[in-house]
Amino acid sequence: MRIRFITISVLAMLCGSPLARASEAPTYYLALGDSLAQGVQWSPTGDVLTNHGYADDLYALLRFRISGLQLAKLGCPGETTSSMITTGPCTSEYETTFGVANQLAAAETFLAKNKVALITLDIGANDIDKCVSLAGVDFSCASGIAPGVTTNLTTIVEGLRAAAPDTPIIGMNYYDPFLAAWTLLPVGGQSFAQQSLVAADGFNTLLESIYGAAGVPVADVARAFQINNFTPIPFLNNLPLNVFLALNWTWMKAPPPFGPDIHANDFGYAVIAGAFAEQIRLHSTPWD
């Protein structure tokens, strides 16, 4: 708990003064995307939804600066850029709550009925993860998903913009949990980790180009997790820094049968929230 308290204090410094000047803040912070947007974490009985995700951390900061702010998390574990605009794992929940079949339509419905101060979006991890297995990275698969991801993510951003033209949207790129294979796999772990990083860098470049074309700031989670920093740590047998962070900011060290697990842990989610807070600090908002 002490670590989380200190981290929230750091986030407050990152966000700086623009939020502090808000006097008539909108009502909601809307978190959209995949399992990370819901704060999913490993447990001994399997993955569980928690209130210890990056959206919760960011909300914990923003609600002290925007009077009356509430958090709405519409993210869906297992969501892809395709299922977010068609049907997917959470279709029944969206139909029950909003009378629509997918997350984008649910978000558009929510935006039509509520005041929203900020939208965060993380989507795409489940698109690229299907290209990674214990056999390695299928690079033909990774390159093959690019056109669909581009079309789908553009549709998602355009839909959100049309529903809420004045609401800031911040996207994100991804950390690389498979760097942990460096030590976790008894054979070929270093090669697997290096392959995964090539795929992660390529996919993050794709996401950044799509968001950039739409004028959407990107929370640089990859940089926050130092995924390209192979600096050896002498007192840890020269374990690379990026591997160390992947092992300690995610649940990749969790034991079977439900581990290793690619989701962030408490500290990792706080780091992701910090990357979003940095974008809030860097970009002007309607709250100013």
| Per-residue pLDDT tens over the stretch 7-46 | 333 444 444 434 444 445 358 999 999 999 999 999 999 9
| 39-64 tens-digit pLDDT | 999 999 999 999 999 999 999 999 98
Helix (H) or strand (E) holding 105: helix 103-113
pLDDT score of 135 = 85
| 128-169 tens-digit pLDDT | 999 999 889 999 999 999 999 999 999 999 999 999 999 999
pLDDT score of 287 = 52
Mean pLDDT of the chain: 91
Closest to 72 (Cα-Cα) out of 120, 123, 116, 30: 30
Taking 3-state DSSP, the helix, strand and coil percentages for the chain, each rounded to the nearest 5, stand at 50, 15, 35
Q: 233 with 213: CB under 8 angstroms?
A: no
| 175-227 tens-digit pLDDT | 999 999 999 999 999 999 999 999 999 999 999 999 999 999 999 999 999 99
Report residue 272 as tokens. Answer: 């992701």
DSSP state of 224: H
Secondary structure (DSSP) of 114-139: S-EEEEEEE--HHHHHTTEETTEE-H
Does the structure show a pLDDT above 80 at 80? yes
Look at the block and give the residue holding tokens 């969790």: 254
pLDDT score of 27 = 82
Look at the block and give the residue holding tokens 């093959």: 144
DSSP state of 185: S
Position 285 confidence tier, pLDDT thresholds 50, 70, 90 = low
Reported CATH class of domain 2-282: alpha beta
Does the structure show a pLDDT above 80 at 286? no
Rounded mean pLDDT, 69-97: 98
